[in-house]
Amino acid sequence: MVVNVCKYYCRIYITPLILLGFNVLTKSLFLFMILSANAFFIEIPHSTTIKNETIVMVNTAITALVARKVWSSSGLPALEVEVFINKRISARAITQSGLSGGYVDPILNSEKICANLHKMLDYKIEYIRNILTPKLLGQRIDDQIFIDSLLSSCTQNNSLSNADTAAISISVADLAAKYYAIPLWKYIQKEDFEPIMPLPEIEIFGGGAHASYASTVQDVMVIAPGAENYQHALCIGAEIFQRIKNQLVKAGKPTGLCEKGGLWPSYDHFSHALEMVSEAIALSGLTAGKDIGIAIDFAADGFYDSGHYWLNGKKVCGQHSDEYIATLTSLVKKFPIMSLEDPLAVEDRAGYRELMQLLGNEVQIISDDLLDSDPQLVQSEDAALLCNAIMIKPAKSGTLTKTISALRHARNKGWGAIMAGRSIDSEDTAVMHLAVGLGIGQFKIGSLARAERSAKFNEGIRIAEASRELVFAGAKELP
């Protein structure tokens, strides 16, 4: 970059002075050199500011956008987008989706899932090639807000999903980071967000849609806010995971992995899962409920039907909202539970208000499906009465700009925040950079036992190693 800037100022200021004193042959040779330089170095039209430093830039226009079909962690085709500057620098991102409410949801139960997904992706690739790419070519990669506004229009006409546009938006930001030769987390950081190493949530048991509803509750996880640092928190979670896995092996029970790498729910009832995790925590040497605890993603819409909650399946009597909330309250008192995600059905807003009054000062009550990382929903006055933390998912927000907007609204309400990926994922590690750069103190991606999950956790280790000034969040986000 420095060389390019020097060439620019040489052409503008020094060249005319030198040419005044040179003979005709020398002038011709020098002019040829300057014109040749123009073929390789583009004029510098503007400047930008990164981390309080003004940097003069060469033209940073997008020159190409490629969309292709790749494979996701669930064995389903997914969309990958790659953005280029002059074919020399590129960045790519892969779409994420959930097993419900994502781009695969409408055709998940069809007889030809992959074939139908291929057709859907073929349409999206054609749309990106013929409609979106002409709009993006020539746009500056550092003009994230304008680019994201173009992407948002694609979701309004249903040509692309939020997951698709999020991938494009993040790839543009990553391309800018690569251009400036800085990490993505550092490029996206804002003045009102202090970068931080997040507290990881480590999945122990899967369930719900991630385990063909072998159990109702989607994720049983551990978090270690009392850990010394990010790496130590991962080690604690891994020890709990392996201890419970060995216990299941000795009992002759299945230890297969669920969609996000958690152990298969080899338990008879939900409280049995909490008992196993609590026993493993007791052997960790840390203080349960303070240094380490349990985090649960209920995904309660999955076991809510006809006004009743069926926490332990349809073989057991369902509970009305008030009865079910009483059950949740008793579980929090009995076990070292620190976090409840989507504990109630989306339509049970009265239940959320009641639960907040009962437990809002004791545990983290997280909204994922209720607010969908949507800035407008997060901003609503009613939202403050429903939860005290939000799950931030760029694949739901649709763009990096909307993700940041949703986070700002949440912070203005005094909420905690958790950066998360989705169940249908890939080796893409951008979400870890978003968590660090936007100062999101918790990170949820699944277990350490699947490569697409450990890839994100490992990227966090690299970030912490390269930037030792980053502080570990610990219990910062928790009530």
Q: Are residues 87 and 206 in the same domain?
A: no
The angle formed by the CA atoms of residues 66, 164 and 420, to the nearest 5 degrees, is 125
Q: What is the pLDDT of residue 14?
A: 43
Are both 116 and 150 inside the same structural domain?
yes
Residues 173 and 271 in one domain: no
What is the distance between the alpha carbons of residues 102 and 94, in angstroms, rounded to a whole number?
Answer: 14
Same domain, 168 and 79: yes
Residue 334 and residue 321: Cα distance in Å, rounded?
20
* pLDDT per position as a tens digit, 75-109: 999 999 999 998 889 999 999 988 754 444 555 55
Highest averaged pLDDT of the listed ranges 26-30, 33-37, 201-205: 201-205
Q: Are residues 7 and 74 in the same domain?
A: no
Answer whether residue 23 is part of any domain.
Answer: yes
Domain interval for residue 26: 2-41
DSSP assignment of 285-324 equals TS-BTTTBEEEEE--GGGGEETTEE-TT-TTS--B-HHHH
Look at residue 107 in the predicted model and tell me its pLDDT: 53
Q: Does residue 409 belong to any structural domain of this protein?
A: yes
Q: Which of 147, 166, 182 is the last residue of a domain?
A: 182
Residue-wise pLDDT for 33-59, tens only, equals 433 433 333 333 344 444 444 444 457
Q: Please, which residues have CB within 8 angstroms of residue 344's CB and are 6 or more apart in sequence?
A: 298, 300, 304, 321, 324, 325, 351, 352, 355
In a domain, 356, yes or no: yes
What is the pLDDT at residue 109? Answer: 55
- Interatomic CA distance for residues 148 and 176, integer angstroms: 14
Each residue's pLDDT tens digit, 171-194: 999 999 999 999 999 999 999 999
CATH code where residue 153 lies: 3.30.390.10
- Residue 479 forms part of a structural domain: no
CA dist list (Å): 427 to 117, 140, 289: 20, 27, 33
Same domain, 32 and 167: no
The residue behind tokens 């979106």 is 132
> CA 380 to CA 370: how far, in whole Å?
12
Residue with tokens 């385990």, as numbered in its chain:
211
Domain boundary among 163, 182, 201: 182
In percent, the amount of the chain with pLDDT more than 90 equals 77
Give pLDDT, residue 345: 96
- Average pLDDT taken over every residue of the chain: 88
Per-residue pLDDT tens digits for 359-395 = 999 999 999 999 999 999 999 989 999 999 999 999 9
Query: Which CATH number is 377's domain given?
Result: 3.20.20.120
pLDDT class of 330 with cuts at 50, 70, 90 = very high
- The answer on 440 and 308 residing in a single domain is yes
Continuous H helices in 319-424 = 321-334, 349-359, 375-379, 394-397, 400-412
- The answer to whether position 476 is within a domain reads no
pLDDT interval class at 404 (50, 70, 90): very high
End-of-domain residue from the set 154, 182, 210: 182
Q: Structurally, how many domains does the chain consist of? A: 3
Q: What is the mean pLDDT of residues 248-260?
A: 95
**76 lies in a domain?**
yes
Q: Is the pLDDT of residue 6 over 60?
A: no
Claim to verify: residue 22 and residue 75 sit in the same structural domain = no
* Residue 174 sits in the same domain as residue 216: no
End-to-end CA, the chain? 46
Q: Same domain for 162 and 29?
A: no
Does residue 278 lie within any of the structural domains? yes
Are 264 and 131 in a shared domain?
no
Task: Provide the pLDDT for residue 22.
Answer: 45
Looking at the structure, do residues 36 and 102 belong to the same domain, yes or no? Answer: no
Q: Do residues 203 and 260 lie in contact, with contact meaning Cβ atoms separated by under 8 Å?
A: yes
Angle between helices 451-466 and 430-437 (to 10 degrees): 40
In a domain, 200, yes or no: yes
